[in-house]
Structure 1
Amino acid sequence: MRGGRLIGLHLGLVAVLFALNFVLPAYSHGTVARVMVLATYAMGYNILFGYTGLLSLGHAMFFAAGMYGLAMPMTHLGLGAGPALLTGIGSAAVLSLGVGLLALRTRGVAFMIVTLMFSQAAWLTILLAGRWTRGDEGVVIPQADRMLLGLDLSDPSTRYLAALALFSAVLFGTLWLVRQPIGRVLVAIRENEDRAELLGYDTFRHKLGAVVLSGTVSGAAGAAYGLFFGYAGASFAETHYSIFPLLWVLLGGAGTVIGPFLGTLFMFYLIDLTSGLTPAYMLVAGVALVLLTLFAPQGLAGEIRRRWWRGLP
């Protein structure tokens, strides 16, 4: 019964998002499509931070790896959108494996700093390779090239439904993962890694798997963002794009499946609404975020779990 309620909750969210495709005005339609892609990025981050307890400040490198792994072959090799999407995801997977093997030699604050340094190196590489990446100017993917399986992803409705498909796949994939034994091992590592080792689990292997899975999902979001919105830029590899998913996850509820989406949606519309009221919109947003942190420290979904539904994954 509990499993049916959980599936019903997440299916309900997907159904609402699907219905919104037909009723939202143009501006909000595009915004929600963007939110779904970035929420996918946040869900990838949540696997590492929320469920495994590893704080990364370098996830922008995986997002950018997926984005440039798609954009570079399309721009310089004439690769189609489908194969380029796979190269983008593959680039993020390979990078996350390499980073994981090195960064997981450290723990705690050292892990956080190492991931930040790797991310900074990735950002500088994009800038120094400006001949191909066009640096801060970025790469524009022509509308004619944004065709996947015969679908024109520059069309707002098609783009929205493609973003929903990606979001839904990762949402239910995460829900499945956290209910499997491997997901419970990741939570055990988060709570007490030494005890998990005493129980016989290979914590390094599980943490490496979490880094690779998290980086690959984040890279898939980056590749999708580049393909759906037709642009890849160095700004997506900067430090603030590593801070954003952390903020979204904390706002929505770390260690909850639905939290990253709630946090991303809340943050987007908070800034959007306040920017229309005052030039000091970041101050208003900052005050709102501080209040939310003080009175709902477990995030939006975390508070729902604490107050009403303790079984919420």
Structure 2
Amino acid sequence: MSGDDHYLPLALINILGIAGIVIWHLQGRSRPTGRLIGQILVFAGMCLVVYTGGIAPHQPDDVHTEGFAALLSKSARVLWWTHLAWTIIGLIHIYVRLNRKPREAHLILDMAVAVIYLGVALSVMGFVFGMPVASLVTTSGVVALTLGLALQNTLGDVFSGIALTLGKAYAIGDWVQLSDGTAGRVTETNWRSTNLLTVANNVVVLPNSTLARQVLTSLSRTDETHQIKLGVRFAAVQSPRLIEEAMRSVLQSSIRIVKDPSPAVALTAIDAVAIEVELQFHVASLAVGKLAKNEIIELIHGHCKADGLALALPAQSLVFVPATPCGEASAANVESRSPGAPLPGLPL
């Protein structure tokens, strides 16, 4: 096909390319589906014109080398490569939506978009403008090495974020707990950091490199139920069976804990002064953990008064005394206890 025969296809490609940009901006971010469909249709039209017009965007143009024809040819090829990048990116977004990928997959999407744009930029410089791509790649490598040395910490966060995303250690909305005690719901993850919303409604911003070095416990896999253990000490003058029954009534009376799995009462230890009990129960999520624990403590207080149970003093406040028969109150004094002070059992 002669150079004059290319004018009409080149003009059509320019018109379609510019029209696609206008449609893209007119659709706006509020209509992502419409933007993607419009982009795909425009690029399909450009490919049809390229095919019927015998134009090869991946080859340098030897026909139009100067003047308006050269400008028209180069602009058509640049627009074609640009719309190719946008169409590939659009198809990737469609794939992610159809497969209902998690929202944190935008890290991988951003990386894919960067690779696509880099490839298209090199293609435009090599195929459209005839620049030596090999030299550009070599120069870019030197620049990348220099930037890498200058931005070691930032790049560490970036690659740690990619590793955490690929490893699927957590998802947006998961409750997680770190080895340093920090716990919260994952609200955002990006190239540099991950944000946790704590129970106290504070946002903790963790650099990805720091997060990758810590032991992470997921509190939302396979569901968000969370176990809480509460220890209570009762005076040894009371029957263990009576204490166990009273604590079971406490757990059954609670409205903030879940009943499946069933809560449990474990008698963990006994000595001359106290019987130690551990209440084990689950809550629907870590967010209601404090409320449930407060309710359980309130119910323990009420049942102790109703059943005549006495709490024991903390173990740290006791001193060693000779052993006494089981079931009898120990005459153990508390450090600095004044004469006539009550025994370790503290009735409520």
Place the TM-score, normalised by the shorter chain, in its bin: under 0.3
* TM norm structure 2: 0.19
Normalized per residue, the structure richer in strand is 2
Normalized per residue, the structure richer in helix is 1
Flag the structure with more relative contact order, 1 or 2, with Cα contacts below 8 A and sequence separation at least 6: 1
* TM norm structure 1: 0.21
